[in-house]
Structure 1
């Protein structure tokens, strides 16, 4: 919560902090900012060049700013980016510091008062990301006082100044959700009725020094949470290409606005129960507070993540214009709720198995289930949609003969974004007529101009799919320039260098199979730049593929019955501790009452009631699955020893998973819960038994066989273990795993003669040690007593057999 000038004189940075920053300064940049850049190893260019990585400007009125963006595709940031990056000890995302004055909160100075620390951090990140400033000091600079309570010295002072607006934190959240500033009067704290009397905040909270909240580290976390740097969850750099979304992860492009993976939920009722990253995106938010969106990856690369996409709320064909009126999604006479937009859709996934990991395919399946659809393991006549990448596979040909709809993961991504199952309207939505080995635009070097945000990302995907190379900058080496409008610096240079300029339709037609378009850049249809929907595909080339869409999808009787019951698909939001005056529906019922706890559909006898635990899932998924288990009569187990069903997405070496191998009757994927919820009863576990081919191959075991062995006899029955002090995992964790497998752990070192005697009787004693404790076991070694590493237990439990050779010291 600092401005550019506040406290920057004392800032220092390591000599390599800005080593990767090659910058061009534009405007009146302070000496302190220039000093920090030089001190951190940044390299300054005295002229604008494509060798630069950043342009630092105090406003956007300079011609170099537009040239940097249009010609060189360089990020432009304000000097504040340098100051706050130095304070946060990390390079912050560019998008939060662009010099435009038309951001949502541009020109606003918000004073945050009586707000918990975690909420202050989240609010600071949101406001700063969208051009505003936050502070704790209440002074003449303030335009808004943000407080949840109509009390306090700052509140009383603000009431005396009519130019200062007083709002609750909900005003920030709703402004972001609606993409425009809301009327402040509707968010005045005096409109909040408190249902519970709360203790007053600590005496020092009101006047806490501004420089300490949030701390420098927290400032970086708040902004990095709103704009990820492109690392996947395992720390590996993501490949910039099409990807399946989070709803199924996060964006690899630091120009993509916030997604919802890192910041988590704001727990205080002051800010709301939705995720900050969902709020800061333009997409829709489902009932669980989770945005579910997919987008596929380029065929030559592995699908690693799921990102947040930005799309118009309504595709063009839903507005009633053009040839699209021939095609239908669901029966237009049936009103399908957005949360079940895939109702009646039965998918079969082909082609993508070689491009994504099994765990990620399982995530796709879970998201489809959450939206009312189903994913079959193999092709059959009951399939309605074939999710495929190209038209080369025999599955595509069979689906075409059977009149099935063939679409790509891009289509599924966009449909989940708009939450309505509609016919494909982009070239990316249909499988390509060429295989991966044949790329029609090999050798082409393409640049784009006039497209921003998701439109630019879509173009990058299309360029890669066609086999061409994308360049952010424009030079004489480019063979084609794709323009949104015939204007800008790149367009001028293209005319000067006689580089063909075309619209998106040119690339779209090539992807759809019109390869002649490559040499027909001068056709009038490719020189028209007035289309409101430049990505809309030409259905002339895809009449055969679009044939099945001429008939609306018919819902089964079961699906219609489920729809009529208005079944719940997501975790209901918890009741708020405060409510607004007048927030009632037409029947006079307060809207908060709609989130009352839901009773189970049915109650099962204790002996038939599944007791479920989860491992390896994020909190949002656990909350969602927990509600569904309880709704159909299941229970959440108190501990792993009482658990009958352990739910996980993959084989893990956690205490809960390893203990579950020994104690649980079933280890299943989340699809078991989703499928059970869909059928309103617990389904057969066999079809959903967890399979993790990668981990099973690595450790040389079969999980299903391990579970079978564990049911027959406990692995460590009549077995005791002594563990030396420095064994990892620590003693309490190892004790839980051993006891779940029927063994015992002794706390004192057993004498040599007792260990020797245990070889002939029961219980048998094993010694577990590590490299740093080997000397403690010298007396055992001198008496030919084997000692083992922790892997004897960990891998042994996973495989449900003891390996006396591989893990002996």
Structure 2
């Protein structure tokens, strides 16, 4: 089977890709076993007569080192990938299909060489906004580090993904993965070019955007809804982007254009009533990229998404065949927004639908054998547009390849259905002047009742994505990993978990029981947001110290020096926990310590330890001591390692301590004198 099976090529001959190179490229493609009849067309870019739409729609890939050819604009509209000749060469060399986006010849996609990943310190709302931005300007994004990752976006380096990137860079002896603040990406978009990373390293505060200006948004005043749940650093950059292109960002009283994430909320309804243009961040970035105003509903993913999943979509598992590049990404986004599952591979007893661009290849063959429904993209697009799963036996959805005309090419379905505001809404283009003349309704202010960034650990109850969104509405942001902005730990008691211990290094203001979140959600569901402030649960009621029996709970004796102090122990924990507890020590951690040396080391480091070495009986020497005291952290019964350590550190000030010494020191916010095995 050829590497390029199913593809039909159009090679554009130009001054950047000579006739000789074009012919050689054709031979290279054929050398892989490619034998599609008429599957490779070669055309000069100087030919001003375009190939027919019927021929172009059959093309799956255009190879060109320039965008200066008459078919380019239509190819973009049809989501036909356009790549430089290097894509073919590199794919053959690697014997796999390389990422298409990285090979775009279009200079407006100035982030085509960029692949970003976000660290735990980036909140979900910022992550989604940054992903939309990099995708719009030609880059790619992943949830995990990969061989293609070029940039890791972070606010600090205090998480596993950052440590992994740092270790990888050290092993490579160069910064293969640049660890930068979100401002690097946002300022690059503001400047319309990829900026140097040096000024945007984590820990620095420098910025050097070079704003590109236009009058694209002249007369437009945007209202940015808070349902994106983005940070002030991202929202301020969006404001700068809009202002440098002639627009403004203001309150609902002065706005005439709405940008939001979901088709819900007071401001969304106000925008409908006022007949404002309504779009999302995809829409904003598309206009900035193309320097062109477009009606939001023309491209479905430019309009705010429904908040809830489509009924029945939770049972739908979709894979695709012969869709590539942006068309594949577009279909994946539709599936996931609707609440379905998108899979790369076809699975016999799992996959329910295969979207087919051409009825050829292994996926199509096995889908038929396994009785998986084979449909074209229209079934998915129209299900989204009408917000109702369409009849998958409709003959219109069973046409593939040449049977689908240009008018029904992928991405050409638009939102034009008059449904409720919580579903699809008919989109009508409105001019600014008519919007300004409409009467205004007052919307609620954007202030939130709480200002909490919380981490959950040890909780039996699971909170759904909908729960987390509702919590966010009232100012409670739940994060997965402890970051510098953390100010609350939510747990059923005082725990020795990794999350609980590391979170204490962030000097939290609150230690609360999970019932706090449960009661907040109950209040959100039973009252309007406008009235929430009057009925909101008071934080003091859920103080963890009020739910612990310090005298009778034996665990309290294991972690507090004086349990009889009762709630005062929690007060001390809140007032004095900090990230410098262990900065006076260099730690050697036993390779066989329960819990694992990597986990234990990461906890000690979160409290200020700068040198943390994993050792065993084969360790020949210790590095030069940086701090005042060297510690060995091991089990009390590990006498052989203790004796070995004594020989290595015989002339130094050292302590040999148990893991319980670390735990008790953390909970008492000072270095304790218990669980010390030996000291020199």
Same fold (TM over 0.5): no
Structure 1 length as normaliser, TM-score? 0.32
